[in-house]
Structure 1
């Protein structure tokens, strides 16, 4: 009689556990659908893909149409441009180089350049590695010359640093390319190979790549501006430290798993707070960190000619959210950010 009683309790507990899991999954599904539908009510948006990773379980859903009037909904193998979310890969590689003792955060970047560049300092204070990865170097947003690598280095000679490095945050697409070049030099491998060897292959991100073959190009999303005009895809001409990676929502789930892996020392280092911007806002290795008594968030936005996305990590809740749309205009990033915030509230 006692054994039958214990068996009954076990069965009830098992069923209850399964029921809770089903309810939680349904909650995630419903939250994604609700927020996606609300987003697409804004007719400037045509499609959206959302991936949620919660407690190790992933949910990916797709909505809308990639081509206006075609009804071709995105899917798990749809290839998107990650744009500036590529910078988080640069940050990860920089963190690895720090742990490998290939570079030091306080290194003067000029020790890795082929010329002296006396202009890359302010009142005797040089630009250091830590300034490159926190957007505090004083470099301009875009390089003075960016048509190829040789021109890039010539353009560096034209830059005038107007504030002490490390003091003023100013978003720069110049600095991460310098970082990627330095990584190539210290590892004696191309930046593309470094990302593939140390991030993509270990995490089985087989659909994430810089260079596309003919089949990949057929899967690559074409995006629109707010006037429904098709926009060109980005063409990488430099190292790829700022942008150039293409990926799928399913591969981004794998990347979110990596970013939530507290046992990975490179992840831990890459999330280290390096520059305080406000009372609850820091820059780390190309992650923006929001932390106060209520929350801890790592996030980065990506925007290119015809698509925008957000990648947001909530380590305390073991949640990651990735959202991407094939529309790009001035308010897109802000709109998507609000969708992510609301989605997190709905599933947490």
Structure 2
């Protein structure tokens, strides 16, 4: 279904193009209607004409753009503004136009990775996404089509060489990479549903390899592709620092992932490559359904948070889009909760 875009996309310049000289910014909405068609944005005029998705996106974004300044130079506030016909317009802080992002871990439209991909796409990023295998591809493809993701590839980190082949495609297709989202985790059911002290060596090793060490492998493969810097994201959970009933083995595994993130940030920081672990509150996703009695965890969390409601994948996506943008270039090595305040309580 086609969805109306935010009115913030429009500016006074569009009002003037519509023959309304000196119109106020809000008057720009008269005569225009914008929709998202799954491949990009299109602008419909009241006379029935329509710009292409690319033309519309360029037209809407142009008044906000400003020239890139040397990072070492000093600017006053006026250098962050543009003047269009005497109207001062601020450059949007979260602008991912032209940035290339790899999203690993989309399972279906309800997954955290899908929510992040949607936010990246809305901010103008070019995206590639992975699917676990051919069976899983049928669940991922609707997300790909809806968001206009440029290309996809299989990625099962347990299969030797598959991750390396993925990054070889990134090099071949794009020649570089600006950001990456790691949103995968796995533990054998018999180990996940038992006590941590009863976990098998093999089960523990598999959980660590898929859920944690794969992030380090991705960081290593992404490093040469991020010649001018970039950002690496992964997804964690507050069960890493507190005992959460039924989270079991994934608690120590996520704790390791968070520690790994800090080391990645420290080791790659000299190359302007940043790293973060995003820690959402409990969200009903396909992956979370593997946790025993997860519905009870959701109910407890909803009753505990100050807002009285849980976050969803769009909340996580909004944070992810900010973190990979230039607006967050001074932030790295963090574990950031997006849980409506649940982390405030024991």
Give the TM-score of the pair, scaled to structure 1: 0.22
- Relative contact order higher in (CA < 8 Å, ≥ 6 apart): 1
Looking at secondary structure, tell me which structure has more helix per residue: 2
Give the TM-score of the pair, scaled to structure 2: 0.22
